[in-house]
Amino acid sequence: MKYATLLPSNKKIPINTIFCVGQNYAEHAKEMGGTVASTPVIFLKPSNAVIENGTPILLPKLSNNVHHEVELTVLVGKRGRNISKADAMAHVAGYGVGLDMTMRDVQLEAKKSGNPWSIAKGFFTSAPLSPFIEAANIPDPHQLNISLKVNGTERQRTNTSKMNFKVDDLIVFLSSVFSLEEGDIIYTGTPEGVAQVVAGDVLEAEILTVGTLTHTVV
């Protein structure tokens, strides 16, 4: 069982379902050769893919092109189904930093053949996740500077204001399809600048006022 940590209370919450949003920043959708979708693109990661800050990211044998994707993550604190937009933010327990590590070559092959993305997105160590800062301490999750450095060089930087589907939109949509439970996590999508990582790389992800992650690729 993996746990999410909520700060500053240090409360541990068992991680339930991990929902991830694809193509939620226009510039990233463009670099992938697409556009932002009219309904959210959703895929899942298994909870055993989660690693905490500092744990090495293991390159899978199946891929020759693993990419970094830095993302704002949302911890769901309260169950609900068909949650209204007005109620949506009351279901958020906290916000964190996540990396959605992706076998890009395997994903592109899956896209081409119409197969699921589970292998490309859900492999062991593919979900680095920081502790979560209680939502009350983050006045606006859509005004956060988010960045990623590899070996000290900046690769991704934007502001969460550029997200297409906002946190409340995602909660409305996910709860209408799946229902949401305490301990669910939402990876809200990555901005542009995704690129390959290789063994020995050091990844430093940061969302100002939310947290940081530092991981070595092995």
Binding site for Mg ion (CB under 5 A): 69, 100, 190
Which residue reads 């390159």 in tokens? 59
Partners of residue 207 on adjacent β-strands: 146, 211
Measured in whole angstroms, the distance separating CA 55 from the mean position of its chain's CA atoms is: 17
The conformation of residue 106, written as its DSSP 8-state character, comes to H
Identity of the residue, 57 or 80, whose beta carbon is nearer to Mg ion in the bound complex: 57
Structure tokens at 14: 């068992």
Identity of the residue, 158 or 190, whose beta carbon is nearer to Mg ion in the bound complex: 190
Identity of the residue, 17 or 190, whose beta carbon is nearer to Mg ion in the bound complex: 190
Position of minimal CB gap to Mg ion: 100
For residue 21, the minimal CB distance to Mg ion (Å) is: 7
Identity of the residue, 175 or 190, whose beta carbon is nearer to Mg ion in the bound complex: 190
- How crowded is residue 117: how many other Cβ atoms within 10 Å of its Cβ? 19
For residue 148, the minimal CB distance to Mg ion (Å) is: 12
For residue 197, the minimal CB distance to Mg ion (Å) is: 14
For residue 63, the minimal CB distance to Mg ion (Å) is: 15
- H runs (alpha helix) in the chain: 26-31, 85-88, 104-113, 118-122, 167-177
**In contact, 22 and 173? CB cutoff 8 Å:** no
For residue 194, the minimal CB distance to Mg ion (Å) is: 8
Identity of the residue, 21 or 171, whose beta carbon is nearer to Mg ion in the bound complex: 21
